[in-house]
Structure 1
Amino acid sequence: MLQLNADQLEKVEALQLKRDSRELLQLLGSVWPAVAEQLQARWPAFIEVALEHAQQIGLRHVAELARYASLCCLWGAGFEAKPRFEWAAAITADPLLSPTLKLHQLTHRSREELVRRAAKAAPTGDAMTPAGYDKALAAVEAGLGRAARGRTIFLDQPPPPRPTACDLAAITFAVAEPKPLQAYHGQDGSWRRVDLVPWAPQPETLSAPLDEPRLLPVLSRAVGAGASARLQLAVSTEATCDAHHPEVLHATGAGRLTWRGADTARLSLTLHAPPSPPADSKLGPAGIAHGEPPDVQSVSISSCGIRNAGAPLGRIELGLQVHAATQRLVEVRHGALPALAWPIEGEAPPLNAAGTACHLEADGHTEPAPAWLKAWQGLQPAARAGLEKLFIAWSRHMAGTSGRMEAELAPLVGQAGITWGWQHAADGAVALHVQGAIDFAALVLDLRLSGELDWLGSRARVSLRAQGRSEWRMNLADGAALEQAKATWRHPFTLSLDAIANGQPALLSAGPLAEPLRGAVVGECGLRPRPDGRGQQWFYRLAIEPVNVCLLRQDPLGGTQRQQRELIPALTLIDWSAG
């Protein structure tokens, strides 16, 4: 395909203008014979000056040049800069008007001036009347229509039609949300649904172009989930060109709907919220405090944007962010792991599965979340498996089968409830509201390990103990509090070592060790972002810092010998998440 650069295009346009000037000289001479006869030899220069002024206004097409030159034939070349034509100067200097609109308003105002002058004075034989003006403009349009299309350089640019007044006068709109919208409210450990304060903004009327885009936050429901919000819209017009204007276009994530002409006078547009996506097969529904993104919708009200006077309203676009009004609640209850002892004799005692529950609701209706419940039911087995791993690691460093362990280790004992959903703030903006009450004993710990150590036949009885209780109790008031919804702990081990008299002259004792070598039970729990980024999930991590002992072997013949020995390596006992 042939493409022209900027210089070539400029030369082609200059050639086109020269050709247009010759044709306009002939066309306008036939429409305005009296002016051409009066100017005689100065007629070509007059038309050239008129076309230069037209280009200064921004007019480029031959049809627009001809229409402006006709006004010059009526008022004189460059009339907009002359005295008594202040109205023309104001029109051409208005930055809100396009060149085409300036030409339209100059043409319309010229006829009004002729009507005003005709009303003040008796018409004379050579005075231009409104009827004569209309006849001259019609002759110009007819002459443009007869121009041979094959003589133009740009075949794909047909002459623009003469503009017709078509503009909006005013637009009145208001958002009506479904009532009542409800949310969960926690008090004294229980949750109930309460009506939200309705958000009912007053209708607004726009009769001037918007300085910046208007964005309306809306709470609504998805298709099939109950009553949805509506945008009440009333459109009045200054003038219309045909049955296609004004036009209202409502664009949503599901598609587009269009209304034209008289159908736009009063509309009630349904604003559906986006549907909830299906639950993840592994993670379940969207996580805690996840707000689905809104459906970004737009309502465009448009016309030709042509007014006989003044800046046009033209096109108004309203942006809508339609959020799902769904409010969710999760309630969790978790019991304690019973005390255990190793080595286990017979069958292991049953876990306290009956004390575990995880319930998820959306607007008062239960939402299935089997993956969440399964994860909570797996916390106690995960804790027992971690203890089993700890006992195996401990026994590996004990002499023979002397290793023993008694453990009371209960993670996340208690209950919690968290609710979340999109709600209006005091200023009408929509924000994610989170409320929650967390009442957990993060860890109840009493861990006792015992066994015997052997060094060249010398033996000692060793005991380790870590105990403590860590709480995780807090109230969640907003989304920012989620970042602090955590608890951490560190419970150090205490060690005791007693020599065993077994006939060996050398005895074992314990020497001092630096704090990092003594070991501890460490961990953290709380809420953290889900791997898929869709909200928060519960997490729990429990680990053992390496435990060492400094053995001193006191031999009457060989003196004192020193040895650092690892009793428990670094271990992760629990790495768990849910939701």
Structure 2
Amino acid sequence: MQASTDLLAAPFDLLAAHWPAVAERLGGRQEAFLASAAQSAARHGLVDALSQGRYLNLCFAFGPGFELKPQHEWALALLADERLQPLVKLHQVLHRARAELQRSGGDAATLQRADARLLDDADAALQAQDRDAAPLPRQACDIEALELRVLDSDWRHEYRLLGGQWQRVPGPAVPPALRITAEQPAPERLHLLTHVAGQGPLARLQLRQALHAVCGERHPAARWLSAEGLSQWHGHEAKAVSWPVGSLAATPPALGLALVEESSPAVHLLQVPSCGLRDMGVPLGPQALQVWAWPADQWLWVMQREPAIESQWPAEGAAPAPALPSSPNPAPTRCRIERDGQPVDARGWVAGFDQQLAQAWQQAMQALFNAWAPSAQQPTLRATPGLLTGRAALTWGWREGSAGLAAEPVLRVAGELDLTCSLALTLEGEMDLGGSRARVQLQAEGSSPLQQPLLRDTPRPALMETVMPLATELRLPFTLTVDPIAHDDGLVWREAGPCTGALTLQAGLRPRLSGGSGWQWFVRASLEPVMAPLVLHDPLLGLTHRQLALLPALPLIDWSLG
């Protein structure tokens, strides 16, 4: 406690000059007086030199531990109020104390002068360290309430399925104004939807201040800090002001957009300064609010792909190392993309499906043919793939949360998928099996629909849970047919059971692997080892069982787009 007493030594001399009669009555009890004042001040959270000096001034006026006396219960209530900062506590206690002294005939003027001198000395010390330091507040100056609302948002639309067509229609109503008071504190951050400057209409943020009291020197005021710089308003214009807010300009990916991308906001700072001082009640105080401006872009992505046709290896008339056949899809993919009603170039997406996917698939089948060719003479391969054929529509964009400005927005995703993934695969050839010959055929066939309506417009379920199921997987086991060719020795091969191994095909949407958020279309295929149990019937030696390796494990395709 000695350190706290030391803090009071300097203000004691100053205050004794203002209260000479009290100082004379103390006589040799000065140390006990200071110790009592230091203990009481610390008990109320008044630990800095200025706060302890101002509390000591009250002790000169009312006596040590004055707040514990029944007639001063009002002082104890204020000093014990944990909602009030030390500066506010002492201002309100001194305000009430002056009224009490005036009512009882005490020396309110001396209390006021001594307190002003303590504040003057503290100001001088602050400005000696920082010439631009603001003076300590002396009079009530606080904000009663702030009101924030979004203006100029009639342009907000979103895509919805109406009458079987995806149409751009007006979005939800503009969120209501947000009111901030001492009883309704500001949220951690504010959220609004807008565009990048120069790329679409901008929302305007309006600030209105209801003032409790103002010092008239520095307040009312408002400041807006963004990447474009600082905007400031003072005096009357700061009571009601609005300004445009822009979102963050991001570098678009190679295809111009990422599907269902959770784009990032621009972060701005709104400051509403105030002395934060009231004669009575809990002040609202200065406010510093983060404002997150989210891109308001609404996207529509629609695709139509026709069923595939059969491809063959080797191609008719091709050399032993056949050239790659053309795309198995008979008609080009149709793709339509819009952002806020404006068409976006879709040629990269069409090329991704019709050229890149087709080429990847042909290379996969060529690799499969090459793996089959060493096992069979006169090898052939026929494949009819259906890779994401049908129709798919996706629309997405940010929408305000249920609490408007006070809630983080939701990435609304809607759409419908009516796609099919299928494969019909046949491998044929002749094999010399222990002196006998047979025509061997391997077949794998199957299909799986990817049909699902899609709507997410609430925070739960999470986006990952919503989009992750938009994929399908097929495991296509091989079936083996062995057709023996007549042999003079009577040797005959036949199947001894089903063969093992399968071709696995996965397709649909998955999170982007190229960095950033968003989703991409993908097709993956791989081959498990194919083994066939066979039996050789020899008229002289009887039956012989063998396991014949027909195909090795082989990765076939890992294609993605987006």
Bigger Rg, which one: 1
Among 339, 342, 350, which residue is 2:310 paired with?
A: 339
Determine which of 55, 69, 74 is the counterpart of 1:82: 69
Paired AA for residue 337 in structure 2: L
Aligned equivalent of 2:173 = 198
1:231 — aligned with what?
205
1:321-370 CA deviation, whole Å, 9 max, x = no partner? 32211111112222344323333233676434742233332112233455
Of 275, 279, 283 in structure 1, the residue corresponding to residue 252 of structure 2 is 279
Residues of 2 paired with 1:31 and 1:156: CA distance? 27
CA distance in 1, matches of 2:434, 2:32: 123
What is the CA–CA distance in structure 2 between the aligned matches of 1:162 and 1:382, rounded to whole Å? 73
* Counterpart check, 1:550 vs 2:503: no
* Alpha-carbon distance change, 458 to 242 in structure 1, aligned in 2, over 3 angstroms: same
Alignment of 1:226-265 (within 5 A): 226-241=200-215, 243-252=217-226, 255-265=229-239
Shift of 1:60: 4.7
Structure 1 residues 215-224 or 49-58, which shifts more?
A: 49-58
> SS state of the match for residue 71, structure 2?
coil
Instruction: Find the aligned partners of 1:456 and 1:46 in 2 and give their Cα distance.
Output: 115
Give the corresponding residue for 2:494: 510
Q: Where does residue 418 of structure 2 map in the other structure?
A: 439
Distance 1:454 1:27 in 2: 115
Compute the TM-score of the two structures, normalised by the length of structure 2.
0.84
The correspondence for 1:360, drawn from 321, 337, 341, is 337
- Seen in structure 2, the aligned counterparts of structure 1 residues 44 and 25 have a Cα distance that, compared at 3 Å, is farther
Aligned residues of 1:209 and 1:316 also touching (Cα < 8 A) = no
Name the structure 2 match of 1:218: 192
Q: Which residue of 2 aligns with 1:168?
A: 143
The answer to which of 24-33 and 78-87 deviates more is 24-33
1:178 corresponds to: 153
Q: Is the 8 A contact 1:337 1:380 kept in 2?
A: no
1:538 to 500, 516, 521: 521
CA contact (8 A) 1:31 1:140 kept: no
Q: Distance in 2 between matches of 1:381 and 1:398?
A: 25
Which residue of structure 2 lines up, in the alignment, with residue 122 of structure 1?
Answer: none
* Closer, same or farther: CA 506–255 of 1 in aligned 2, 3 Å: farther
TM-aligned CA deviation for residue 477 of structure 1: 2.0
The correspondence of residues 417-428 of structure 1 with structure 2, limited to 5 A, is 417-424=393-400, 428=404
> Among 64, 78, 88, which residue is 1:101 paired with?
88
1:326 aligned partner? 297
| Overall identity of the aligned pairs, in % | 34
| Deviation of 1:539 (Å) | 0.9
Q: Deviations over 1:171-207 (max 9, x none)?
A: 2222336113111223565322111122231x34434
Deviations 1:247-298, CA, capped at 9 Å, x for gaps: 43334455554434444211214332222x22334xx344221121223444
Q: What is aligned with 1:110?
A: 97
Deviation at 1:53, TM superposition (A): 4.0
Partner of 2:351: 374
- Tell me which residue corresponds to 1:525: 507
Q: After superposition, where does 1:19-34 map in structure 2 within 5 Å? A: 21=9, 24=11, 26-34=13-21
Shift of 1:219: 1.8
Partner in structure 1 of residue 478 of structure 2: 493
Comparing 346-355 and 185-194, the one that deviates more: 346-355
Q: Which letter maps to 1:457? A: G
Contact 2:150–2:174 (CA under 8 A) maintained in structure 1: no
- Report if the CA contact (8 A) 1:334-1:356 is conserved: yes
After TM superposition, give the deviation of residue 65 of structure 1 in Å. 4.5
SS across alignment from 1:180: coil
Kindly provide the CA deviation profile for residues 510-566 of structure 1, in whole angstroms up to 9, marking residues without a partner as x: 1323x5x34333312111111124211111123333333333333233333332212
Distance 2:25 2:483 in 1: 131
Amino acid at match of 1:413: T
Aligned positions of 1:387-466 closer than 5 A = 387-399=365-377, 402-424=378-400, 428=404, 429=407, 430-445=409-424, 447-466=425-444
State the one-letter code of the partner of 2:20. P
- 8 A Cα contact 1:234 1:265, kept in partner: yes
When residues 396 and 243 of structure 1 are mapped into structure 2, their CA distance, relative to the original with a 3 A threshold, is same
The count of aligned residue pairs is: 540
Cα 1:92–1:526, aligned 2, differ >3 Å: closer, same or farther? same
Query: Matched residue of 2:315: which SS?
Result: coil
Amino acid corresponding to residue 471 of structure 1 in structure 2: P
Query: 2:500·2:530 contact (CA, 8 Å) conserved in 1?
Result: yes
* Structure 1 counterpart of 2:146, one-letter code: I
**Matched residues in 2 for 1:157 and 1:248: separation?**
23
Q: Could you tell me which runs of 5 or more consecutive residues in structure 2 were left unpaired when the two chains were aligned.
A: 457-462
Q: Deviations over 1:70-103 (max 9, x none)?
A: 4333333332222322322222222222333322
Q: Give the letter aligned to residue 272 of structure 1.
A: G
Aligned-partner Cα distance in 1 for 2:554–2:117 = 96
Q: Post-superposition shift, 1:222?
A: 1.7
Match of 1:308 in 2: 279
Q: How does 1:9-20 map to 2 (within 5 A)?
A: 13=3, 16-17=6-7
Give the TM-score, by structure 1 length: 0.82
Q: Give the Cα–Cα distance (whole angstroms) in 2 for the partners of residues 439 and 311 of structure 1.
A: 60
Deviates more, 1:249-258 or 1:379-388: 249-258
Aligned amino acid, residue 437 of structure 1? E
- Tell me: CA distance 1:95–1:30, structure 2 relative to 1, closer, same or farther (3 Å): same
Distance in structure 2 (CA, Å) of the matches to 1:295 and 1:15: 51
Q: Deviations over 1:425-461 (max 9, x none)?
A: 555452111112222231152x333221113432122
Supply the AA of the counterpart residue of 1:228.
Answer: L
User: Would the aligned equivalents of 1:220 and 1:323 in 2 still touch at CA under 8 Å?
Assistant: yes
SS in 1 for 2:70: coil
Q: Is the 8 A contact 1:464 1:495 kept in 2?
A: yes
Are the aligned partners of 1:357 and 1:376 in contact in 2 as well (CA < 8 Å)? no
- Give the residue type in structure 2 aligned to 1:483: M
